[in-house]
Amino acid sequence: MKLEMKDSPGQLVAALKPISEVGGNIIAVIHQRDENAAGDTLGVQIVLELQEQRLGELLSLIKSQGVNVLRLGKERLLYKQTMIMIGHIMHTDLGDTVDRIDCTGFAEVTELTMVMPAINEPSSARLVIKAVNKVDMEQALGILRGVAKEKNLLIIEPLEANG
């Protein structure tokens, strides 16, 4: 959620209080004062967890504090890591490898790009895994590492990570 509010003492607290009132959980608040910005407004980004049915109530409460909601996103999987897998990926059942992560409910493979030079040659795949939080990401990566060891695949990690 990206908010715009008056740049005055107490305004950030007034914008955050409604989140707890509707049972939300604040994961991160990104607030960086830009001394060169014109005007008397401040931009703040908030990452939060909230039951979807409470969203309308939250928006009303925030607006009643004189805060503008500039953007609202519904990204459930907040942590991302990209990895390379090398080996006989197709011969060791790529679907099974992906399913072992996807079936967890807290992480999933969201992108998969594969290169297969020849049928008897090792192939390579670029996987993007997204997870709900850092702990779940580590658990998903542990599953992938275990599968790679079991199937004799090489994992190169991380290409990039965020979260």
Could you say which of 46, 71, 96 is where a domain stops? 71
pLDDT at residue 103 in the model: 82
Q: Are residues 88 and 108 in the same domain?
A: yes
Could you say which of 71, 87, 102 is where a domain stops? 71
Q: Are residues 49 and 24 in the same domain?
A: yes
pLDDT at residue 141 in the model: 92
pLDDT at residue 62 in the model: 92
Q: Are residues 117 and 142 in the same domain?
A: yes
State the residue range of the domain holding 67: 2-71
Q: Are residues 60 and 83 in the same domain?
A: no
Q: Are residues 94 and 148 in the same domain?
A: yes
Q: Are residues 155 and 90 in the same domain?
A: yes
79/97 Cα distance (integer angstroms): 20
Q: Are residues 63 and 89 in the same domain?
A: no
pLDDT at residue 38 in the model: 57
Per-residue pLDDT tens, the chain, 163 aa: give them.
888 888 888 888 988 999 999 998 887 787 766 665 556 888 888 888 888 788 889 999 999 998 988 878 766 656 889 999 999 998 899 889 999 998 877 788 989 999 998 888 999 999 999 887 788 889 999 999 999 999 999 999 876 555 4
pLDDT at residue 8 in the model: 86
Q: Are residues 158 and 125 in the same domain?
A: yes
Total domains in the fold of the chain: 2
Q: Are residues 28 and 101 in the same domain?
A: no
146/71 Cα distance (integer angstroms): 39
Say if CB 133 and CB 141 are below 8 A apart.
no
Q: Are residues 64 and 116 in the same domain?
A: no
Q: Are residues 91 and 140 in the same domain?
A: yes
Q: What is the pTM of this model?
A: 0.54
pLDDT at residue 107 in the model: 85
Q: Are residues 16 and 44 in the same domain?
A: yes
Apex 75 CA angle, 8 and 98, nearest 5 = 150
* CATH code (residue 21): 3.30.70.260
